[in-house]
Structure 1
């Protein structure tokens, strides 16, 4: 059966995927031909968001949930290139992802990197994990990264409650960086075709208003709720992909 992390790896041009992942990826690509652009731009958003939080805000701790299979410009690589003492906790619940992470991701000597086997749908399991508590100081600001993960959490699993629980555990001065797939820019026939091609795994597109709801009560930073290809993209090569090309929202907000 196809797996989200391995399929994402396939779209990014990686080698850590199986035939089922490639078949699923090709089916989605047939319905939405710019899906590889989506994966690349989502990854670039992660790099720019971590850079912004590290360089401009001064965040030195990150909690990255839904890590995926390691590829270039992982959170700790970006953060520790700016601040070698940065500390990062990665969280995923897929054994394949965790095996690759432990084998391929190494921290700087000054910083620290830890990998937790935990499920986003159980936020207290993450927040109370001894490895998290020994790596991050939850009395100091944290960059909470929820990148391309919440569209795998159905409404029945209370995604807004999950995010609220995580945010409420972060100290003042922390930041939330979040991306999420949307159907807002898809013609009805495209949305129907993508949905039909993506039956192997739970997936839920959300609208701009539904995306914005994850940030209720937070101080959303400029440029607000935009396509991942448009978020602080001034240093990227032009021309940029359109919002319709990516169909993913991204935003970063300060936790008061």
Structure 2
């Protein structure tokens, strides 16, 4: 991601006690100092590490930075222990027990309970793993309490993945797949849906639902084996297989 490229260009190792930094510099503070391992080509920052630059701030208990030719030629940043990464410039807000950033592939990985990764208007949460590959244009959210909010659609399930494109520097989600051995949940502004598996396509504005389908809208509750919702036209339908029937429950609402 661009934020990482800026770090690779401007990283400057400064003393651990500084009152201020100049524009274009990156300030690193750490209570236990910096260890450089030249043969293995990495340096280690320990205890209450804080890295500040013009475009981002990174906090962590331990930060390991791998490099190639010299200390400034960074290839990977790995931080652990109550890690947070914030960049208003690039719309990034990440938090987890571990954060791993691969420079060349522009990949960011967040791990641990209550992990989150917010990229502009896309919010991802999990007690497991969140991975975004910027160049490839893909993402995956795996584990308990996994959730993704994008395009006014709120999706929850143990396995969420999909693709996005970059339009004028802004990430736009194109496809989302969700599955859960128990049940996944998809919400729009007026419809609440449940299914073991679901697929969202932004281009067609369609959400396809598979297995143990339930669609709730207002006083209507419809169950079946397959469902299809058009988020643009606000229409939906539910089908059954040969052994089951579609069930419709309409509850009278009191004004």
> What TM-score comes out, normalization by structure 2 length?
0.23
- Tell which structure's C-alpha radius of gyration is larger: 2
Structure with the larger strand share: 2
Judging by fraction of residues, say which structure has more helix.
Answer: 1
More relative contact order, 1 or 2 (CA 8 Å, 6+ apart): 1
